[in-house]
Amino acid sequence: MKQNFKRTKFACYAAYFTMSSIFCVPPLLYVTFHEAYGISFTLLGTLVVANFLTQLGIDLIFSAFSRYFPISKIVKIMPILTCFGMVLYALIPWIFPDKAYWGLIVGTVIFSVSAGFSEVLLSPSIAAIPSKNPQRDMSTLHSLYAFGVLAMVSISSVFLKIFGTENWMYLVLILAALPLIPAVLFMISPMPDFSGSENTASVSKSKQRTTGLLLCLACIFLGSCAENTMSNWLSGFMETSLGISKEIGDILGVAGFAVLLGIMRIGYARFGKNIGRVLLIGMIGAAACYLVAGLSRHTAPAFIACILTGLFTSMLWPGTLILMEENIPNAGVAAFALMAAGGDLGASLSPQLLGAVTDAVAASNFAIASGNPEQIGMKAGMLATSIFPILGIFAVIFAISYFKKGISPAQSYNR
């Protein structure tokens, strides 16, 4: 009997949407934590490192040992783990204010494990569900993160404005209930069969497959660098280098970036095709945006370039997964985990590089003599990190060429 996976697909969408709370809400509260509990900004930065390292660890474990895990069961437990981590995140600083930082660390690690599971398992879950248009489903899944960011930032801003930052715990507890929706849906929904694709992925060890995966890994790493550098530094760049107030920068800049990110992914889900061309245009456009932002002496072009980066980088992560699915059929959970690891590494490395370049250039005699060293440093950081989408152009060209000439899914993978 043919199973209906519509509810399963909706559960994946709901889980991906609620995952955005994991990434959006904690950074919004860092200043509150600093003022309320005396936690230094260095220790608060460690929360970001803990988040990243936990997710990267999950990615690497699944890329090597995915066949040993009960995938369907983990998918169902994942939202519950998110809920538990966020509840712990809220309650421990409230009940034990002297141990607030350790509560934040423990809560961060727990819901970061869930975030790692989400990155590794939701994409292959969508890919394993029979569909007439798998590209649309994958693009829709990833678009929900962008719209989740908008929703979470809006909800958090309104809540904290009305009830005050001292009541942040109630906000986190309310948001902690959201993952219960996909948890219930997963419990009452059938799960697709992962075993067939995983066996194929394990047995097929050809040089062609390895080369193809490495090219996709390079594309997703460089694409993640391009997307996450701007998303992490957009607010600071607009305030420091463009002289735009934080409120306007966040509302128009950050929100505009997220809107374009989501609209493009939804647009591709409905009308998109030829993912190789989309990736190439995305890398070229992202490189141009970084160069304009770093080189322009006028506010308007740099402002527009920052926002347009959301449009051009929107498909670089999900698009690489689509490219992999098209050219390496039955890649398996391990391949998706490897892609997630590459994306997470890019999301951490490139923003840190921009910060390091900014500090180094701002401390130079040239920048100090200019009278505005932070502005010079931030623009230099933008120019330095433009190397990632520039290299991404060549990575995409090589990948497209290789998949056209060097690999035949029907012959290599017996599909």
CA distance 280 to 199: 32
- For the segment 343-370, the average pLDDT, to the nearest whole number, is 86
CB 295 within 8 A of CB 255: no
pLDDT at residue 408 tops 80: no
CA distance 115 to 113: 5
User: How many CB atoms lie under 10 A from the CB of residue 174?
Assistant: 14
pLDDT digits (tens, 9 = 90+) for 179-219: 999 999 999 998 887 664 444 444 445 667 888 999 999 99
pLDDT at residue 217, rounded to an integer: 95
Domains of the chain, with CATH numbers? 1-193 (1.20.1250.20), 203-415 (1.20.1250.20)
Confidence of residue 45 (pLDDT cuts 50, 70, 90): low
Mean pLDDT for all residues in the chain:
84
pLDDT digits (tens, 9 = 90+) for 252-284: 787 788 889 989 988 988 887 889 999 999 999
pLDDT at residue 281, rounded to an integer: 97
Lowest mean pLDDT among 48-57, 137-146, 244-253, 310-319: 244-253
By C-alpha distance, which of 142, 137, 27, 11 is closest to 78? 11
CA distance 138 to 117: 17
Residue type, 399: A
By C-alpha distance, which of 98, 105, 90 is closest to 38? 98
CB 165 within 8 A of CB 34: no
This prediction's pTM? 0.76
CB 36 within 8 A of CB 44: no
User: How many CB atoms lie under 10 A from the CB of residue 360?
Assistant: 14
pLDDT at residue 332 tops 70: yes
Phi then psi dihedrals of residue 179, to 5 deg: -65, -15
pLDDT digits (tens, 9 = 90+) for 6-40: 899 999 999 988 887 777 777 678 768 878 888 87
CA 292 to chain centre: 24
pLDDT at residue 42, rounded to an integer: 66
By C-alpha distance, which of 372, 349, 352, 351 is closest to 362? 372
CB 338 within 8 A of CB 217: yes
Which of residues 198 and 314 earns the better pLDDT score? 314
- For the segment 95-102, the average pLDDT, to the nearest whole number, is 84
